[in-house]
Structure formats: C-alpha cells, structure tokens
Amino acid sequence: MQLTPLIAVHMSAALGAIAIGPVALWARQGAKQHPKLHRAFGYAWVTLMVVTAVSALFIRDRTLPNLAGFTFIHILVPVVLFGLFGAFWMLAHGNVRGHRKIMQRLYFGACIVAGAFTLLPNRFLGQLVLGQWLGLV
C-alpha cells in the first residue's frame, strides 16, 4: 500500500481529530468552563471524525484478513457514525451526561485505540513510522 490522496485525507483528518479532541473535552471540565471553545472544537472534531470514517470506507487492504477488502478496523466506521448520531441525540434530549460519556468513549476508542492499531508493524502507517522514520521494521 502506498500513500494515496485518499489515505492522506484519511490520515490528516484522523490526526486532526486526535489533536483537537482533548481541547473539546477539556473546555467543559472543571469550575471554569469554556462553552464557545467547546462548541467550536467539538464541531470541528465531529467533522474530522465524519471525514475519517467516510474516507475509511474507500480504503481497502486485501493483504490482511478481510471480507471484501474490509478489515477488522472497518467495524469502527458504523460505530463512529452511530456514536456521533447518538451523542447529538442525547444532547437534543437534554441528556448532557450521556452526550459526554459517548463523546469521551468515541475519542478514546476511535482515536486513541484505533490509532494505536494503525501503528502495528503489518499496517501501512506502522511500516511508515517504525520502518522508514525510525528504522525498526
């Protein structure tokens, strides 16, 4: 697999989501909250996550165990999309606590855990980072 424009868009959106997610989460923590910052970074994070999820549908890897080109990590696509929908559903119905829990879990699961899986040595990004940049693979 090589770095195509589609993979570049997917990777850029994912890295952007990883970077700004903590700001959106932090802006509603503690005694001094920042609702405008939370909303701005939250909408940006949601947009980046939608771009990441939708672009992932078009990235296929037939070298790993797959079903029609979809690997295990593609399960995150509907999880992310349904999770985002559920988080806004909760918010629209006044369930701020439910919204918070879903968004925190989405950040951790879809950004941190999935990001860690992409760094495995048999994955494209893992080979790029561990192999070409660090010379480990």
Residue with the two structure tokens 């192999």: 131
Average model confidence (pLDDT) across the chain: 89
Judged by average pLDDT, the poorest of 44-48, 68-72, 132-136 is 132-136
- Whole-angstrom Cα distance, residue 53 to residue 55? 6
- Report the predicted TM-score, pTM, of the whole model to 2 decimal places: 0.87
- Whole-angstrom Cα distance, residue 134 to residue 137? 8
Would you give the end-to-end CA distance of the chain in angstroms?
Answer: 16
Q: Do residues 27 and 33 touch, judged by C-beta distance below 8 A?
A: yes
The most distant pair of C-alpha atoms in the chain lies apart, rounded to whole Å, by 51
Q: Has residue 30 got a pLDDT over 80?
A: no
Q: Do residues 101 and 110 touch, judged by C-beta distance below 8 A?
A: no
Tens digits of per-residue pLDDT, 96-137? 999 999 999 999 999 999 888 888 877 777 787 777 666 665
Amino acid at 79: V
Q: Do residues 99 and 87 touch, judged by C-beta distance below 8 A?
A: yes
**What is the rounded radius of gyration, in angstroms, for the C-alpha atoms of the chain?**
16
Residue with the two structure tokens 């980046």: 48
The SS3 assignment for 70 reads: strand
| Percentage of the chain lying above the pLDDT 70 cut | 94
Q: Has residue 91 got a pLDDT over 90?
A: yes
